Amino acid sequence: MKILIINTVDIIGGAARAAYRLHKSLLDEGINSLMLVQNKKSDDYTVISLANNKFQKAVNLLRPFIDQIPVKFYKNKTPTLFSPSWIGFNNIIDKINEINPDIVHLHWICGGMLKIEDLKKIKKPIVWTLHDNWAFTGGCHIKWDCDKYKDICGACPVLSSNKEYDLSRRVWKRKNKTFKKLNNIMIVCPSRWLTNLSKESSLLEVKKHINIPNPIDTNIFKPFDKDRAKGLWNLTTYKRLILFGAMGATSDINKGSNILMEALNLLKIDNVEFVVFGSSEPKNPPNFKFKTHYVGHLNDDISLVTLYNAVDVMVVPSIQENLSNTIMESLACGTPVVVFHIGGNADMIEHKINGYLAKPYESKDLAEGIEWVLNLPMQDYDKLCENARRKVVEEFDSKIVAKKYIDLYKEILK
């Protein structure tokens, strides 16, 4: 069985890390897996780049900016990513045919990597793992409160457009025309929440769906001595530590740093410090009330493992989440997580068993969740940490998830 996993990048970003982890998990299970990317950041020989020379690499770096040209006409557009996916003129279909896999497994394919119409040129069975809302919308990656994906997009809130026949309507029509010709495709959603959204969308409602989570190697992400971990990061050993992190942790509106700041200001405990990863300290840092350590961008698993183990609680106040890597990683390391009860968070967090599910977007309840974790008696806190680890080992370990995908591949190839 030969599987080709396709993602815009191999190891940078949440979707990329999830796709790459699946790729490595399949290899560990003896599956002939290759990964095809537009921009290769690793030196892994099992990852193939679409660029064969310096000129192609330069063009591929420009493709995300070229893809955004139609969006630039919307002067009042919100910061939410919107992908028209209109650029052709690359060699991706030729590469797929050259590799000749049994199954083409798509993940995050935007950033100018794939033109929507190119999907119908793929002759092999397609498995498409969704990592956000883009596949079933008129171009936005986060739909927020908009339900136009259930009908036909237009007057797009992300574009701040008041015209029904705008870019989102045109992208929706292009997708609709292409998807109708994709008969041999299986939609995979890592969370139950995203599965339900995709099933009720006008673009993908007739396609087959299955819920399979993202994988994680629990032999890498595991508990580590807390005092040693704190020492590695030069963090204090006599204060409780609260962790927050993501790509663009303090700049991405979806990551909820403003709500978290409100919650921290409401905390009635003082013996704490705050740790932020995924963001360097800005020139004018937010006032998080407590002493804050900015540790910057972390791209290797060992750094992440030691940081998760150094802290006492992880907070993920995102406005929308599919199946967060950071939540899963923290739990696997035995560090409980406080989140909002939204998206796919409840797939991983069991309220007051391995973490805390706060009322959506209520900073007061988020603060109460942090206090609840930090104020637990040590015996109860240790049990919370054990439950956090157990949940991931039993449901999200890479061997378990890889087997689910292998079973799916076999069923498709029948």
| pLDDT given at position 106 | 98
Q: Is the CB of residue 330 less than 8 Å from the CB of residue 349?
A: no
Do domains 2-215+397-413 and 226-395 share one topology? The answer is yes
pLDDT at 359 (0 to 100): 97
Calpha distance 233→310 (Å, rounded): 8
Tens-digit pLDDT string for the chain (414 aa): 999 999 999 998 899 999 999 999 999 999 999 999 999 999 999 999 988 788 888 888 899 999 999 999 999 999 999 999 998 877 899 999 999 999 999 999 999 999 999 999 999 999 999 999 999 999 999 999 999 999 999 999 999 999 999 999 999 999 999 999 999 999 999 999 999 999 999 999 999 999 999 999 999 999 999 999 999 999 987 899 999 987 666 667 888 888 999 999 999 988 999 999 988 887 777 777 788 999 998 878 999 999 999 999 999 999 999 999 999 999 999 999 999 999 999 999 999 999 999 999 999 999 999 999 999 999 999 999 999 999 999 999 999 999 999 999 999 998
Among candidates 331, 342, 400, which has minimal Cα distance to 21? 400
Q: Domain 2-215+397-413 classified CATH 1.10.490.10?
A: no
d(CA 102, CA 124) in angstroms, rounded, equals: 7
Q: What pLDDT score does 249 carry?
A: 61
pLDDT score of 392: 98
Q: Retrieve residue 286's tokens.
A: 């937010």
Burial of residue 89 (number of CB atoms within 10 Å: 0-12, 13-18, 19+): exposed
For residue 305, give the 3-state DSSP assignment.
helix
Residues 6+ apart with CB under 8 A from 405: 22, 26, 127, 212
pLDDT computed for residue 247 by the predictor: 67
Based on the number of CB atoms within 10 Å of its own CB, is 154 exposed (0-12), middle (13-18) or buried (19 or more)? buried
The model's pTM: 0.93
3-class DSSP string for 92-121:
HHHHHHHHCCCEEEECCCCCCCCCHHHHHH
Cα–Cα distance between 106 and 7 in angstroms, integer?
Answer: 7
Residues 290, 273 contacting (CB under 8 angstroms): yes
* Cα-based distances in Å from 47 to 145, 186, 306: 37, 23, 27
Residue 248: its pLDDT value, please?
A: 64
Q: Which amino acid is at 373?
A: V
* CA dihedral over 201, 208, 15, 87, signed as positive or negative: negative
> In the prediction, which pLDDT does 251 show?
64
**CA–CA dist 403, 28 (Å, integer):** 11
Contacts of 236 (CB under 8 A, 6+ apart): 230, 273
Query: Considering the domain 226-395, what is its CATH architecture?
Result: 3-Layer(aba) Sandwich (3.40)
Instruction: Return the ∠ at Cα 327 (arms to 324 and 330), rounded to 5°.
Output: 145
Which three-class secondary structure state does DSSP give residue 409? Answer: helix
List residues bridging with 188 in a β-sheet: 129, 210
- Single-letter amino acid, residue 288: F
Output Rg (C-alpha) for the chain, integer angstroms. 21
Across-strand partners of 315? 338
Domain ranges in the chain are 2-215+397-413, 226-395
